[in-house]
């Protein structure tokens, strides 16, 4: 019932001659207590809101009360703004190159709230002047693999070799000779080392994924999936939300994602402190 509806009901009961005055008084007292209770609750949550936007994002995550408050609200923001791509459970979709936000593996940064928030604000390859857009995976089957890097195309044999190299480094069976040829392409004419690092473990400063762990952004680590990434290139986009969502909502959703991926600490599924 709306506050006005409640007030009308109280007034009607108060006015009806059939109703005894003590009952009206009791109802009025009850309504007043409910009103004060709601006002106190409202004041407390607006105090927490102010604290949340003012505080350093990672300091907010270290404060269990703030984290619960933010994460509980961020769950709704995530559902409305992020779940369509990242999934209701935040686990992403390797068929579309959408990363899992619940694990400890990060393409950009190291999973601090400020890293997550930067993506939530400005996005990745999202045409926002402050977005992440430092590296694009070239398509090595194209005559000109990259618009920004000087790279020669690779033959299907070269792509198969470098695929074998990555599979062998990741502990999957691969031909020895092919893997060795692929190692030379990785460290040489392919220019792969430039973005993915010499050890192929990636670079979170530019969003180049680790290629020798068990976590794949695209596909399942099969020969075909790796081959396709190298041949066609990849260019995942995460939209920017700055200007669309308030600073408060962006902080709430960032803390929610932080809580999803840091389950040993406070978590919205667990009971509050």
In the complex, minimum distance from the CB of residue 115 to ligand HEC, in angstroms, rounded to a whole number: 7
Angle at 58 between CA 52 and CA 59, to 5 degrees: 65
Q: Which of 57, 99, 139, 266 binds ligand HEC (CB under 6 A)?
A: 99
Region for 193 from its dihedrals, namely left if φ exceeds 0, alpha if ψ lies in -120 to 50, beta otherwise: alpha
Closest to 192 in 3D by CA, of 242, 138, 236, 258: 138
Residue 244 is given by DSSP the state T
Q: Which of 102, 167, 168, 229 binds ligand HEC (CB under 6 A)?
A: 229
97 vs 207: CA distance, rounded Å: 13
Is 78 within 8 Å of 256 (Cβ atoms)? yes
The reply to whether 255 sits near ligand HEC by the rule CB under 6 A is no
254 vs 75: CA distance, rounded Å: 10
In the complex, minimum distance from the CB of residue 194 to ligand HEC, in angstroms, rounded to a whole number: 5
Q: Which of 6, 87, 235, 267 binds ligand HEC (CB under 6 A)?
A: 235
The reply to whether 172 sits near ligand HEC by the rule CB under 6 A is no
Q: Which of 81, 131, 178, 252 binds ligand HEC (CB under 6 A)?
A: 81
Q: Which residues on adjacent β-strands are paired with residue 124?
A: 132, 238
Binding site for ligand HEC (CB under 6 A): 81-82, 84-86, 97-99, 101, 106-108, 116, 119-120, 124, 135-138, 140, 149, 162, 186, 190-192, 194-196, 207-209, 211, 216-218, 226, 229-230, 234-239, 241, 253, 257
């Amino acid at each position: 019932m709306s506050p006005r509806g409640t007030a009308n009901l109280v007034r009607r009961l108060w006015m009806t001659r059939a109703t005894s005055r003590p009952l009206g008084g009791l109802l009025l007292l009850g309504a007043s207590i409910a009103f004060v209770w709601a006002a106190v609750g409202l004041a407390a949550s607006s105090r927490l809101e102010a604290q949340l936007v003012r505080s350093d994002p990672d300091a907010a995550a270290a404060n269990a009360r703030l984290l619960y408050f933010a994460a509980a609200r961020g769950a709704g923001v995530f559902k409305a703004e992020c779940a369509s791509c990242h999934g209701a459970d935040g686990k992403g979709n390797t068929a579309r190159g959408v990363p899992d936000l619940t694990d400890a593996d990060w393409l950009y940064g190291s999973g601090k709230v400020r890293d997550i928030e930067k993506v939530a604000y400005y996005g990745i390859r999202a045409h926002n002047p402050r977005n992440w857009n430092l590296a694009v995976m070239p398509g090595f089957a194209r005559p000109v693999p990259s618009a920004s890097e000087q790279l020669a195309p690779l033959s299907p044999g070269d792509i198969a070799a470098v695929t074998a190299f990555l599979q062998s480094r990741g502990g999957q069976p691969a031909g020895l000779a092919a893997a060795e040829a692929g190692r030379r392409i990785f460290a040489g004419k392919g220019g792969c080392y430039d973005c993915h690092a010499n050890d192929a473990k990636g670079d979170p400063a530019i969003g180049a994924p680790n290629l020798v762990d068990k976590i794949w952004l695209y596909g399942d680590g099969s020969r075909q999936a790796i081959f396709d990434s190298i041949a066609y290139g990849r260019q995942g986009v995460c939209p920017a939300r700055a200007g669309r969502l308030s600073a408060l909502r962006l902080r709430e959703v960032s803390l929610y994602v932080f809580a999803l991926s840091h389950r040993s600490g406070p978590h919205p599924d667990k009971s509050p402190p």
